[in-house]
Chains A and B, each alone.
Chain A
Amino acid sequence: MAGAPGGVILRTAGLRKHFGGVQAVGGVDLSVPAGDVRAIIGPNGAGKTTLFNLITGDLAHDGGAIYLDDQDVSGLPPHQLCRRGMGRTFQITSIFRRLTAFENVQTAFLTHHRRHYNVLRRARSLYREQTSGLLERVGLGEQAAKPSGILAHGDQRRLELAIALASSPRLLLLDEPTAGMAPRERHEIMALVAGIARETGLTVVFTEHDMDVVFAVARRITVLHQGAVLAEGAPADVRANADVQRVYLGNPEPTR
């Protein structure tokens, strides 16, 4: 298995992206060891989502390089990155709204097992147990048969997490996984993610605005500011960092 303990699963070197005259990401060096649970925080416009979209191939980068398991994956399209073990969720919930919750996850299993060009089998009977199991794991066992478009917002976020997990990623990028959720729900879903990461050795990189959630879950934190890395370290170090307090936390003693 690649991404063995101690190895670096994700690395970016001098990653750059500008939109017109605006430098959204200006030379970011990021290094995420396998098994890390890494929060990327920063004020609005710091470049968090752009950085995510560069890493996941949803945006083309202007310069620098991206390495997955020490292999240069710069410029690979999303479906190939997915095949190489990268998974993600989107800031704006992206699910297959007119399919049932069950079919959403089942389709992800079908594709992960490279059955998606098969026109001869009936899809309905395939990967049923795995699909049920995963829906149970994210707390959607009861909702399986409903069209996913009518699920509650929080349940849709859980569903997208299940879709991403069905591809058995080794690296999972979550772009504001708790956006639009009530505080209690935020902690539930991040506890779920952290639990899965512990059980499976999955590496998680996530962005998040709720500092309570960040400090409760993250093992390490990277702070972005104006498209560059301002600080990086264990939660306690980041919290104590004067620069970080000045530009982001805005409070010498952030409330817990």
Chain B
Amino acid sequence: MTASAPRVIAIAVAVLAIAPLVLPPFFLQLLTEIAIVGLFATAFNLLMGYGGMVSFGHAAYFALGAYAAALLVKKAGLPMLLALPVAPLVAAAGALVFGFFIVRLTHTYFAMLSLAFAQIVFTVIFKWKGLTGGDDGLLDVWPPPLLKSPAAYYYFTLAVVGLCLLALHAIIDSPFGYALRAARESPRRARFIGVDVRRHQLLAFVLSGLFSGVAGALFAFYNGSVFPDFAYFPKSFEPLVVALLGGVHSFYGPLAGALGFKVLEWLISRQWPIYWPLFLGGIVVLVIIVLPGGFVGLVSGGRWRARPAA
């Protein structure tokens, strides 16, 4: 991290804290979405940036978190503040079961199997009308009155996302995170310093699924409803695109990417709603070719530019 990172974070926190005093509700909702997408993409990037594993199916864990939260509130009658911490455990359990098979594969096969499992989750949600409401989704999934206003839910989301980001940052800086990076750089070398690479990757997968589930649960209560397309493949590509835009080799990349992605989406789709995917495609191409380090690479050029001399 650059030396000025703490100062940037302090300023960002201060700005975010006073935002509700000056911004109309619409922008608070936009910021809430940015925080949720930022958490989702950061959880995703634990795998991609630090573990070297590209998942094409992370919508599965987002949707498991969202549906678990909605079902716990609607069918089990749990209060939201209890459903919120339990729902991510369901997502983590899903990540454990699917990940057990996925981490046995590498590269393209890893990506395709993760996509296949997400499509299974989507199909189950879509078809199991009795439990999930199928196509109609589950409606009236609201937080308690105290958290219902845009400003209140905004603060609540910031607090939960902030805690999760601290946890993810600690994981990345921990011995576990170092060994995960070692497994990314050279699996066979990592095995021969004593790392059980497959188990390590599975644990990272479960942690990534857990925090994706937090993002899903937060989004369920923000949205007031959950729908099968939470698990559909475009949702799986969202964290991938966001992380690429922001930069996968920095902890803050996915957060910067979420900010850029959501602001661009808002700016462009209010003018030309049907052309947003076209613009997004163009932006992704530009970033990959011109800015391989993502938005963050613009600011903190040095460290990850380092390439072998020969």
Contacts and interface: CB of A to CB of B under 8 A. Distances in A.
Interface in B192-228: 192-197, 200, 203
Contacts of B200: 116
Contacts of A18: none
A82 B191 contact: yes
B303 to A, nearest CB: 8
Contact of B178 (A90, A103, A149): A103
Given A124-B173, A147-B306, A110 B179 contact: yes
B186 A111 contact: no
A123 B196 contact: no
Contact of B194 (A90, A112, A147, A149): A112
A94 to B, nearest CB: 4
A28 to B, nearest CB: 21
B170 interface: yes
Contacts of A118: 174-176
B196 A119 contact: no
Contacts of B303: 147
A98 interface: yes
Contact of B182 (A107, A114, A122, A150): A107
Contact of A87 (B186, B192, B195): B192
Nearest to A156: B308
Interface string A105-135: 0111011101111111111101000000000
B58 interface: no
Instruction: Give the secondary structure class of B's interface.
Output: helix
B166 interface: no
B170 A120 contact: yes
B283 interface: no
Given A97-B308, A167-B193, A119 B170 contact: yes
A99 B203 CA distance: 21
B171 interface: yes
B208 to A, nearest CB: 13
Contact of A79 (B175, B178, B197): B197
Interface residues of A, number: 47
A77 B185 CA distance: 19
A111 B194 contact: yes
Contacts of B193: 82, 107-108, 111-112, 163-164, 166-167
A14 to B, nearest CB: 25
A9 interface: no
A160 B191 CA distance: 13
A45 B147 CA distance: 71
A181 to B, nearest CB: 14
Given A107-B179, A116-B200, A121 B191 contact: no
Contacts of B174: 118-123
A78 B176 contact: no
Contacts of A106: 178
Nearest to B179: A116
A12 B306 CA distance: 43
A224 B210 CA distance: 52
A61 interface: no
A189 B175 CA distance: 30
A90 B190 CA distance: 12
B206 to A, nearest CB: 12
Contacts of A98: 181, 185, 304, 306
A96 B306 contact: no
A96 B186 contact: yes
A113 to B, nearest CB: 9
A94 B191 CA distance: 11
A22 B183 CA distance: 32
Contact of A96 (B170, B182, B203, B308): B182
B127 interface: no
A121 B189 contact: no
A95 interface: yes
A149 B179 contact: no
B189 A90 contact: yes
A56 interface: yes
Contacts of B75: none
B130 to A, nearest CB: 39
Contacts of A99: 178, 181-182, 185
Interface in B118-176: 170-171, 173-176
B309 interface: yes
A187 interface: no
B159 to A, nearest CB: 21
Nearest to A122: B173
A164 B191 CA distance: 11
20 contacts: A58-B188, A79-B195, A79-B197, A82-B193, A83-B194, A94-B186, A96-B185, A96-B189, A98-B181, A99-B182, A103-B178, A107-B179, A108-B193, A111-B195, A117-B176, A118-B175, A126-B175, A150-B307, A152-B309, A160-B189
Q: Give me the 9 closest cross-chain CB pairs, A-B, nearest first.
A: A96-B185, A94-B189, A78-B191, A116-B179, A108-B193, A115-B175, A82-B194, A110-B175, A149-B308
